Amino acid sequence: GNAGDVLEDDPVGKLKVFIYEMPRKYNHYLLEKDNRCLYHMFAAEIFMHQFLLASAVRTMNPEEADWFYTPVYVTCDLTQQGFPLPFRAPRIMRSAIQYIAATWPYWNRTEGADHFFLAPHDFGACFHYQEERAIERGILPLLRRATLVQTFGQRNHVCMQEGSITIPPYANPQKMQAHLISPGTPRSIFAYFRGLFYDMGNDPEGGYYARGARASVWENFKDNPLFDMSSEHPSTYYEDMQRAIFCLCPLGWAPWSPRLVEAVVFGCIPVIIADDIVLPFADAIPWEQISVFVAEADVPRLDSILASVAPEDVLRKQRLLASPAMKQAVLFHQPARPGDAFDQVLNGLARKLPHREGAFLKPGQKVLDWNAGLDSDLKPW
């Protein structure tokens, strides 16, 4: 269809973004303290800031801005193992909002309705990697009126508020480029997957991790010759994806993972096993045309479901995946390229203009409760 036309839309001239000048403790100092956050799958938080600083949509005059952006790197506060800490993230974000509200008048006139924030945590602005803890916390109350740009997307979920923009996780474009093989290489692998089937450290009894979907994949198809699967991650991982027809993209702790981006880039048809997932840039990328969706309850029939996809449908999906516009749209390039994920974020913001009725508050009107939230999240940072 005309999906490529939408993906190639140029956002310049459709919106203006004002970037708040924040104290370095909210971004640069966190990055200098631990630069591993430049390389993990949450890194869009940093690269979006770098992109906007040089973007033609940036305005230095806040009075003409359509959107306001607060550069705060909450995913740079890492554990020794390199995972974002969920404990301080709400305090960092809350402190940043307090700062912009006290320093400029723009937050207070809308209480964030014309502001957007990057929230690439596992469960977005619920700021936790365990779903039950994320649900218990909920979205940080001060972000309730803002637009959240987040990797997490799931319909009817506490951590997904209306109007959010779902983005792909960060996957290093240069690293993938270095592993490209000849486009004429036969796709001799029917279905491919590398990753955990069980998380014994966090879910020793099994069944909770990935809602049991990954365990079901393994138990049902570990001996099936059509399925090339392992928990090992070989050095030929990217090359193997380019030799596969279908790449399994099951949920893990959260419904999303970089596997989806890798599948699109390498032309491997994504097999999405994650009920109610909201996919990146779903208003622009024709996921229904390039993927196969399998309900979690149908995993035991996965072999017959994939085998029943008609050859002409496989070819049609592969042709769409081969489109450069499709691949660009899921990648955060450095430097940015036309039509890449940065442009898709801006196009998503532009499509939300003009702001909804009620975005601008009446003088003296207050909507948000600054004292709402968990007691631990209200502590100063």
CATH class of the structural domain 173-330: alpha beta
Spell out, as residue ranges, where the chain has pLDDT lower than 50.
1-2
- Report the largest interatomic distance among the alpha carbons of the chain, rounded to a whole angstrom: 68
Q: For residue 4, what pLDDT is reported? A: 52
Query: And the tokens for 275?
Result: 């009920």
Strands laid side by side in the 17-19 sheet: 17-19, 67-69, 115-118, 147-150, 165-166
Entry pTM: 0.95
Q: What is the 3-state composition of the chain as percent helix, strand, coil, each rounded to the nearest 5?
A: 40, 10, 50
Residue ranges of domains in the chain = 17-170+335-377, 173-330
pLDDT for res 5: 66
Instruction: Find out whether 351 and 163 touch, Cβ atoms under 8 Å.
Output: no
What local confidence, expressed as pLDDT, does residue 1 receive?
Answer: 43
Over residues 160-209, the pLDDT tens digits come to: 999 999 999 999 999 999 999 998 999 999 999 999 999 988 887 777 89
- For 294-305, the pLDDT digits (tens) are 999 999 999 999
Return d(Cα 182, Cα 106) in angstroms, integer.
Answer: 52
Distance from C-alpha of 45 to C-alpha of 77, rounded to nearest angstrom? 12
Q: DSSP character for 169? A: P
Predicted confidence at residue 91, as pLDDT, reads 95
Phi, psi of 193 (to 5 degrees): -155, 135
